[in-house]
């Protein structure tokens, strides 16, 4: 199949599966089929995270991302060669936030708050420009760290009477999201947040993936953000799924799917 590459960003596929126990007994080697599919996708410049789901919404969580949506679709079909029944999936794209500060914003802030002008101002703006280039690269083409926990949930902005996000002007939306971002930055190093866009691709507007080593950090960041105006007044949330991450073979062993003889 011809590659299908987004003009901006990468494709992201979250899949959640139950082990078909009777089929797994009839067809040993189910884990090997999953591992072969993962290895093949990784060889094609994609990334995969696998985890054993906590609770009973699913057994296995798989997150795959990379430049080719056609290859991601083939991967999801390959996983069905194992005794796995899909229970939910989510499709999105990595993206940049439209509310990120611009160079003009930063220039005005440095002049206003730090009194900079001339060469000193231009030097600081150049440093900011370099940092933002790295930030944009990380948002569009993230390299996912090895953390122990994954939490995923979809969300949308409300369109309620009196609380319609899309009736606010851009400046007001940017102000509100600036406060939301400050909460997120307070968890740098504890929680990696990947916000991916899904308007027209899936049922919600964004997918949120949180990666951490401490479950308390996951609980705390979501709790604190609930009090932020962007969430308290304007956000709707879908189901949350949490998984214990590990090497793919370890995740499969946790859910009782063996490689067979």
What is the reported pLDDT for 72? Answer: 98
Residue 71 lies in a domain: yes
Q: With respect to residue 44, please indicate whether it lies within any of the assigned structural domains.
A: yes
Range of the domain at 15: 11-95+246-254
Q: Is the pLDDT of residue 170 over 90?
A: yes
Q: Does residue 34 belong to any structural domain of this protein? A: yes
* pLDDT for the residue numbered 261: 52
Active site residue 90: no
The pLDDT-based confidence of 181 (bands split at 50, 70, 90) is: confident
The per-residue pLDDT for 189 is 92
Are 206 and 193 in contact by the 8 Å Cβ rule? The answer is no
Q: Does residue 36 lie in a domain region?
A: yes
pLDDT at position 258 over 90: no
Calculate the CA 223 to chain-centre distance: 18
Whether pLDDT at 18 is above 70: yes
Average pLDDT, the chain: 95
CA distance 95 to 93: 6
Residue 260 has pLDDT above 70, yes or no: no
State the Cα–Cα distance between residues 211 and 148, nearest whole angstrom: 8
Residue 1 lies in a domain: no
Question: Could you tell me if residue 60 is inside a domain?
Answer: yes
- Span 16-21, mean pLDDT? 97
Domains held by the chain: number: 1
In a domain, residue 155? The reply is no
The enclosing domain of 21 has a CATH number of 3.30.70.1030
Q: Is 27 exposed, middle or buried (0-12, 13-18, 19+ CB in 10 A)?
A: middle
Task: Tell me how far apart the alpha carbons of residues 214 and 149 are, in angstroms, rounded to a whole number.
Answer: 7
In a domain, residue 161? The reply is no
Point out the catalytic residue in the list 90, 99, 135, 153: 153
């Amino acid at each position: 199949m011809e590659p299908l590459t987004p003009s901006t960003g990468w494709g992201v596929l979250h899949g959640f599966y139950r082990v078909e126990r009777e089929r797994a007994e009839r067809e040993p080697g189910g884990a090997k089929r999953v591992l072969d599919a993962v290895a093949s996708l990784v060889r094609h410049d994609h990334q995969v995270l696998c985890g054993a789901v906590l609770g009973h919404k699913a057994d296995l969580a798989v997150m795959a991302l990379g430049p080719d949506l056609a290859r991601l679709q083939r991967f999801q079909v390959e996983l069905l060669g194992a005794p796995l029944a899909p229970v939910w999936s989510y499709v999105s794209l990595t993206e940049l936030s439209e509310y990120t500060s611009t160079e003009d914003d930063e220039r005005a802030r440095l002049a206003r708050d730090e009194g900079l002008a001339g060469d000193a101002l231009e030097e600081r703006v150049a440093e900011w420009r370099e940092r933002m280039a790295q930030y944009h690269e990380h948002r569009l083409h993230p390299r996912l760290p090895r953390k122990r926990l994954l939490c995923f949930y979809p969300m949308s902005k409300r369109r309620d009477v009196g609380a319609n996000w899309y009736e606010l002007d851009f400046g007001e939306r940017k102000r509100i999201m600036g406060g939301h971002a400050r909460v997120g930055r307070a968890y740098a190093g504890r929680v990696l947040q990947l916000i991916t866009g899904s308007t027209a691709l899936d049922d919600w507007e964004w997918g949120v993936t949180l990666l951490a080593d401490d479950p308390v950090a996951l609980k705390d960041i979501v709790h604190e953000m609930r009090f932020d105006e962007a969430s308290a007044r304007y956000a709707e949330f879908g189901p949350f799924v949490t998984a214990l991450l590990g090497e793919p073979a370890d995740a499969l062993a946790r859910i009782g799917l063996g490689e067979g003889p």
